[in-house]
Structure formats: C-alpha cells, structure tokens
Amino acid sequence: MRSSTAATIGVGATAAVLVASLVQAAGEDPAIGAALSMSVPAKYKDLIEEAGKTCPAISPNLLAGLLKRESGFSPTAVSPVGAEGIAQFMPSTWAAYGVDGNNDGVRDSFEPKDAIPAAANYLCAISEEVKDVPGNKRDNMLAAYNAGSAAVIRAGGIPDNGETPDYVDAINAFTDAPAGGKEAIPAGQAAAIAINAATDKIGTPYSWGGGNANGPSTGICCSPNGRSGASIKGFDCSGLTLYAYAKAGISLPRTAAQQYAASEPVNPGEKKPGDLVFYGSSPANIHHVAIYVGGGYMIEAPRPGTEVRFSPIDALPDLYAVARPASHANKEI
C-alpha cells in the first residue's frame, strides 16, 4: 500500500478528455470481465478440475486459489527461500509428497502435471494431520500448507505470524467467489463504471485502511512507516479499487493481495482499461493496487500524505501482474 513519488496527470480539461476517451473504450469492449469460471489458465484447467476432486477436504476452486496465491500459476517460480514450481514445494516436502503425474518416470516439482496433483495429495494429507485442531478445518488446512502442520497444531489454529492469516484469507476469497453467475452489468460497462467512480474521487485524501464499498472512510493505525489513517477520511489503494468496482456490481476483497487472488490473470501486453495493476515481488508480497485507465496511466491512492490521482503505471519499479476483476453479483466481503 505504498507508492513512489511520480508525475501525475492534472485534473483539468486534459485529464477529463483522456478519461472520457478511455472510459468510452472500456464501455465498448465486451471482452473486459469475460473469464474462465475458475480463474485459471486454460492449459491447467483440466488438471486442476481433476486434482481438485482428490479428497472431500478440497475442491477445484480451492486448489486453483492456492496455486494462484503461491505462484501466480507460474511453473518456473522459485521463492527466496527455495520453494519451487507452480505449487511452491520446498525440496524436502517434494521428496515426501511429490508424484509422477504424467508417468514419465520423473517426479519434477517444475512440471505442472506432477506438481498440481501433488499439491492436491499434500492438502489431503495435511487436512488429516490438523483435523483435530480447533477452528475452521479448511482454514487450518491452508495454514498448514503455508506454515506447516506442526505450527498449526502448536498454535491451536492459524499461526499469527504476520503472513499465514493473510494467506488463508486470500485463498478463501478466491475459493468462495461465485462461479458461472451472470453479471448484472455488461463487462465492458463495468470497467467504465469503475473508472468513472474512481475518477470522481480524484483529490480524496489517502487514509491507511480507509475506504469501503460505500466510499471513503476513516482508516486505521498504522502503515509500515507509522502513518495512521484513524483521523483521515479517505482511501488506501485497495479501498479505492474495492469502492470503484462495488459501483459496478463487482465485489472485491479488502487487501491488494486478496484482490489479486480473486481476479483473473491477464498478460501485461493485453491489459485493458479497468484492469487492476499490482505491485510487489510475489503473490504473497503485493503492496499496491491501482486501476489501469489506458495510455500507460492508472488511477491510484498512492500513499500517506497524498490524494487519489492519475499516475504513470511505471511510477513504481515493481509491477508484478495485471489481473481482471471477476464479474459476479455484488455482496459484502
């Protein structure tokens, strides 16, 4: 939820003309919002649907959400601590739970045909390991995938380690998003409505933790730099995007990382007005989100001490991904 100092577009006639043309383009584009019901790349859909039926504790949606959170569906991903592949197995865990899913005689954590069924098998195994831990069984299973079964058992539930609670929330947000429902607003128009809604809030103060589906709100304490939003009525980055898409009938989770997990991945070269742009180093470390408006610009709530504004999308050096909000009936999250 932070941003660097950047040149911005003024809120005068030039900006008005730019946004009007971009919103018109978004409204005329029927592809915006069109998506697979499971929010997965087509080449993995069959694998995930099959592996997601391995045991009653999991589902295709849950498995897809986990893979998206772990690697963004990248089969070549390697984490700073050495986790590998689309399912981010540590080598020691892979040695115990890896499978030869494609029957080529090799168990390869970088091969999705091996790693996806292995992830399903591992989830089923750890669900049994933590089945007697108090609390929500699915939450405990997901927490065990992230932190290990022993940590969940010791904590008596989700470990409060600064990472695992957000990890569980993000996968749950993706898993529980309605699939296959008809959107109340045509997809291209939804993007246009969201851009318009955000544009109407130009000049609104940044507030850490501020903003909801109803508009600006007072925030909370405190940002990583110690700035409190408790006395400021406004938006943080994900509060602005949540609000804008709520106006279009699309519910988004609260944080930037959760919004990434609940949206459809888009090739950066194919981004369209209305898509969300995410900044960070991995799905677990996304720190900023904004709405792409076209022409190399986004609308954002940048950081404490600033206001909602237009900025170049290269204002931050760590653009991680572009994703398209999933279209479904609005509900409070």
Comparing CA positions, the residue from 285, 284, 297, 252 lying closest to residue 33 is 252
Q: Which of 84, 183, 287, 288 is catalytic?
A: 288
Give, in order, the Cα–Cα distances in Å from 46 to each of 40, 72, 102, 232: 10, 17, 13, 48
- 290 bridge partner residues: 277
Cβ neighbours of residue 82 under 8 Å, at least 6 residues apart?
90, 91
Q: Which of 70, 84, 111, 300 is catalytic?
A: 300
- Tokens representing 118 are 């292995």
Task: Convert 1-18 to b/e letters by CB count within 10 Å (16 or more is b).
Answer: bbbeebebbebeeebeeb
Active site residue 287: no
Active site residue 55: no
Q: Which of 183, 237, 264, 287 is catalytic?
A: 237
Comparing CA positions, the residue from 152, 135, 134 lying closest to residue 143 is 152
**What gap in Å lies between CA 151 and CA 148, rounded to an integer?**
5
Active site residue 237: yes
Burial of 203 (0-12, 13-18, 19+ CB in 10 A): exposed
Among all residues, which ones are annotated catalytic?
Answer: 237, 288, 300
